[in-house]
Structure 1
Amino acid sequence: MRQVLRPARALLRSVLLLAAASAVIFLCTAALPGDAADVLGGGRATPEELARLRAEQGLDRPLHVRYLDWLSGALTGQPGRSLITGRPVAELIADRATVTLALAGAALAASVPLTAALAWAAVHGHRRLRPAVNALIVAGAALPQAVVAAALVAWLSTAWGLFPPVSMLPGGEPPWSRPDLLALPVLTLALPTSAYGAALLHGAIADVMAQPYIRDAELRGLSPATIGFRYVLPMIAAPATRLLAVILGGLVAGTAVAETLFGLTGLGELLVTAISTRDVPVVQSIALLAAAVVVAGLLAADVAVPRRRREAARP
């Protein structure tokens, strides 16, 4: 019975969490100063013209009515139209999603092994190297993406000429056809993400390594790799999966800096443009998409890595 109820509870919790996230997203965008009517009016529209524009865009309706309309549209895959261009928001997102998903996927693929290596080295590496590794993790997690991008361009592009400094993709070509153009944006996302992930996983790994059965495995002569895969990995599977979900959602929504700096036209660049023009349906939909990725990952972690499996990893 518990095996049946546990996924149901996790699903219900995920639905409530996503509903709460949608409400927060809607309220935050509603609190932005100005609206699309001000942008379309160009600062020269009369109060009567602004009122007409707001009525045409539905901005004069009560807040709860707009929220319910947007939420029902998002659930059916039709989250409205852009207030600036008039195009369906779903089309705008679909046009840009390929670039962002390719960028986020490549950054995630690079981040996972680097995160694991940094977290493991910080806990189980050579004693003399641990302080340096921990300092590297803290520094990497604290550096803004813009600083990382500038350093990568200076070293890998300007000094060594390995990659082009701008990543503008030729029209009609998929992003994976030009990996050289994606290299710097991917590293800009992957390096701080790896340091952030290692900082969060460090404590979980340290707790497991302090357990008596780990010491017993070391006394029995098991190699660090065997200890890591047989005993440590199953015990940190749930927090690592949750961290992976949060990182992926952050990458989907956090590509704005990398895309803007390197000239990529993805969801991040669309989000920046939509915020500047107060194109609220676009902002809401991209933010909700990132939240849905995080919630889906957390749900997968709860369902796929139950506690009893982690307990069974103990000898």
Structure 2
Amino acid sequence: MILRALVRAVLLLVGVSVMVFAATEALPGDAAEARTAGRATAAQLAEMRAATGLDAAVWRRYLEWAAGLLRGDAGVSLISGRPVADVIGQRLPATAALAGAALLVTVPLMLAWAWPAGAGSPAGRLVAAVVTATAAVPQVVVAAALTAVFAGMLAWFPPISLLPADGRPPGLSVLALPTLSLALPAAAYGAMLLRGLVADIVARPYVRDARRRGLPGWRIAAVYVGPFLVAPALRVLAVVAGGLIAATAVVEVMFGYAGLGELLVGAVANRDVPVVQAGAMLAAVAVVLGMLAADLVTVRTDPRRAMT
């Protein structure tokens, strides 16, 4: 089981690397055209492409890029000439702080919504409707609404989340609106994924028997439902975490938060392919490692294995 999970994780990363490389290859134009803004001659463009390796065959560039990733070398930025690891490493702490804060809000909110939404009570059906509506709202709309309320009407937080110039970690006022903009849709989406599983578990005979015996709801949730939710919740959390990393691009640009997402948006505009590829693979690795951790936890904690 563990070996199979490891092999699946490796194959997933290989497949993702192919898709990431193919997607960046499909972008119109390249870094040479972006740097010259259309003012270079064909000979000058050819010279720039030869200097940066853009004129090599696609399969050769993929193999060289993949081999570099295995060595821990993500290449050099085509725009700044700096190592991609340095470019991403400079922005990664800010995005890690934002994603970490969003996860701290997402996880308890996701579980708090999933339980009543799947329980089937009248209040739970209302929660399910709210969760579905929240998950359906685009991230941009959520961020705009939060800004209008908490920055405009209440003036609790600044509308622009500028990082401290001296390199200090961002404070609560800087993280608040971007964090909520990420966490609310992510928690709603995760709760929707878990709602059906919760409904299936609470309908099982041993849960109904526990209710008939008058056990309190918290005990039923902790003893009779929780163990069966651990592995699925970790899988959902892995997917949600990957989505959070991807969604930072929208949120960081909207709030002027100088993190990895904002960097990737600029890299796509400038066709800085090595930076885009490295950022996409970083998000993919986070998701795959989360899924791998969920599989390994399943092996250890699945209650059905203890019953056999």
More divergent stretch after superposition (303-312 vs 25-34): 303-312
1:162–1:314 CA distance, 2 compared to 1 (3 A): farther
2-side partners of 1:295 and 1:199: how far apart?
21
CA contact (8 A) 1:253 1:286 kept: no
1-side partners of 2:56 and 2:39: how far apart?
24
Residue 295 (str. 1) matches residue 295 (str. 2): no
Q: CA deviation at 1:307?
A: 7.6
2-side partners of 1:83 and 1:239: how far apart?
41
Residue 211 (str. 1) matches residue 204 (str. 2): yes
Q: CA deviation at 1:308?
A: 6.8
CA contact (8 A) 2:113 2:191 kept: yes
Residue 91 (str. 1) matches residue 89 (str. 2): no
Matching residue of 1:137: 131
2-side partners of 1:306 and 1:224: how far apart?
28
CA contact (8 A) 1:259 1:266 kept: yes
Aligned pair partner of 2:255 in 262, 265, 268: 262
Matching residue of 1:3: none
Q: CA deviation at 1:76?
A: 1.7
Where structure 2 has 5 or more consecutive residues not aligned to the other structure, the ranges are: none
Matching residue of 1:70: 65
2-side partners of 1:86 and 1:28: how far apart?
22
1-side partners of 2:148 and 2:246: how far apart?
26
Matching residue of 1:12: 7
1-side partners of 2:14 and 2:87: how far apart?
23
Q: CA deviation at 1:310?
A: 2.5
Q: CA deviation at 1:255?
A: 0.1
Q: Counterpart of 2:102 in structure 1: which amino acid?
A: A
2-side partners of 1:130 and 1:164: how far apart?
35
2-side partners of 1:281 and 1:36: how far apart?
10
Offset from partner CA, 1:34-84 (integer Å, 9 cap, x none): 100111121111111111111111011011110111111112221100011
1-side partners of 2:301 and 2:189: how far apart?
28
Offset from partner CA, 1:12-50 (integer Å, 9 cap, x none): 110011111101100111111110011112111111111
Residue 235 (str. 1) matches residue 228 (str. 2): yes
Q: Counterpart of 1:179 in structure 2: which amino acid?
A: L
Aligned pair partner of 2:174 in 178, 181, 199: 181
Matching residue of 2:52: 57
Q: Counterpart of 2:138 in structure 1: which amino acid?
A: P
Q: Counterpart of 2:210 in structure 1: which amino acid?
A: A
Aligned partner of residue 122 in structure 2, secondary structure: coil
2-side partners of 1:54 and 1:312: how far apart?
57
CA contact (8 A) 1:175 1:182 kept: no
2-side partners of 1:307 and 1:231: how far apart?
18
CA contact (8 A) 1:145 1:188 kept: yes
More divergent stretch after superposition (106-115 vs 247-256): 247-256
Offset from partner CA, 1:111-167 (integer Å, 9 cap, x none): 001011111121227x33233212111111011111111111111111111111111
Residue 121 (str. 1) matches residue 116 (str. 2): yes
Offset from partner CA, 1:226-281 (integer Å, 9 cap, x none): 11111211112111101111111121222011111111111100110000011100
Say how many residue pairs are matched. Answer: 308
Q: Counterpart of 1:95 in structure 2: which amino acid?
A: Q
Q: Counterpart of 2:150 in structure 1: which amino acid?
A: L
Where structure 1 has 5 or more consecutive residues not aligned to the other structure, the ranges are: 1-5
Percent identical among aligned pairs is 52
